[in-house]
Chain A
Amino acid sequence: QITLKESGPTLVKPTQTLTLTCTFSGFSLSTSGVGVGWIRQPPGKALEWLALIYWNDDKRYSPSLKSRLTITKDTSKNQVVLTMTNMDPVDTATYYCAHSTTVTPPYNWFDPWGQGTLVTVSS
């Protein structure tokens, strides 16, 4: 069974850097084809894809946020870390991580997702 869980601060100040950790079980990021993505959702609004990292360290970023994002993996700890610099109140959202794979169905889709963690940006 695949599970993911996000962790990190619930409150950050404007201009600070946010660091979120996704800890997962039931799969390994050293397995060919596996990926972990980050998606966020402002309160009452739609989903927005942020970043994705694959087993081979290939990384993809949302073009609109690329300059502020860094995604890394620690295979030994079964963790993926997302950092977002220069946080602003508009970045207030629930941040989700999700599993993806290129080798078995559902190919390249986000399934399953973690429960999400709400991050509020306020001074």
Chain B
Amino acid sequence: EIVLTQSPATLSLSPGERATLSCRASQSVSSYLAWYQQKPGQAPRLLIYDASNRATGIPARFSGSGSGTDFTLTISSLEPEDFAVYYCQQRSNWSPFTFGPGTKVDIK
């Protein structure tokens, strides 16, 4: 099973700042990685799929990059509604789906 590690666990930033979140896989997942946003009391929402493609309706301030084992989600300028928990997920062909432990982006 592929294990995903996310860092940092918590990121404390102010609105308008840039957020950089990391997700590392225990073995290569090619580009088969997605990012989800989850706000308190809500279901996760798909933000980025296949490492760098924004899902429908996702603002351009969200971007994803990486391949193989190292991936990054960048929020170029934090809006108040972006403070949430972010999870990465992989769907490698030879492993069950797995999620990372999450990164909480909170207000500094």
Chain A residues packing against B (C-beta within 8 Å) = 37, 39, 46-49, 52, 60-63, 96, 105-116
Q: Are A113 and B53 in contact (CB under 8 A)?
A: no
Listed stretches B17-25, B66-74, B75-83, B97-105; interface member: B97-105
Checking A49, A106, A113, A115 against B99 with a beta-carbon cut-off of 8 angstroms, the contacting residue is A49
On chain B, the number of residues with a Cβ less than 8 Å from chain A's Cβ atoms is 23
Q: Are A106 and B43 in contact (CB under 8 A)?
A: no
Distance between A69 CB and nearest chain B CB, rounded to angstroms: 12
Task: Determine chain B's interface SS by DSSP, over half rule.
Answer: loop
Q: Are B87 and A46 in contact (CB under 8 A)?
A: yes
Q: How far is the CA of A48 from the CA of B36 in the complex (A)?
A: 13
Q: Are A109 and B45 in contact (CB under 8 A)?
A: no
Contacts of A37 in B (CB 8 A): 97
Checking A47, A112, A114, A115 against B46 with a beta-carbon cut-off of 8 angstroms, the contacting residue is A112
Q: How far is the CA of A61 from the CA of B97 in the complex (A)?
A: 9
Chain B residues packing against A (C-beta within 8 Å) = 1, 32, 34, 36, 42-46, 49-50, 53, 55, 87, 89, 91, 96-102
Q: How far is the CA of A52 from the CA of B89 in the complex (A)?
A: 15
Distance between A94 CB and nearest chain B CB, rounded to angstroms: 9
Q: Are A105 and B43 in contact (CB under 8 A)?
A: no
Contacts of B45 in A (CB 8 A): 112-113
30 inter-chain pairs at a CB distance below 8 angstroms, sorted by A residue, are A37-B97, A39-B99, A46-B99, A46-B100, A46-B101, A47-B44, A47-B87, A47-B89, A48-B99, A49-B89, A49-B98, A49-B99, A62-B97, A63-B1, A63-B96, A96-B44, A106-B34, A106-B46, A106-B49, A107-B49, A108-B32, A109-B34, A109-B89, A110-B36, A110-B89, A111-B46, A112-B43, A112-B45, A113-B43, A115-B43
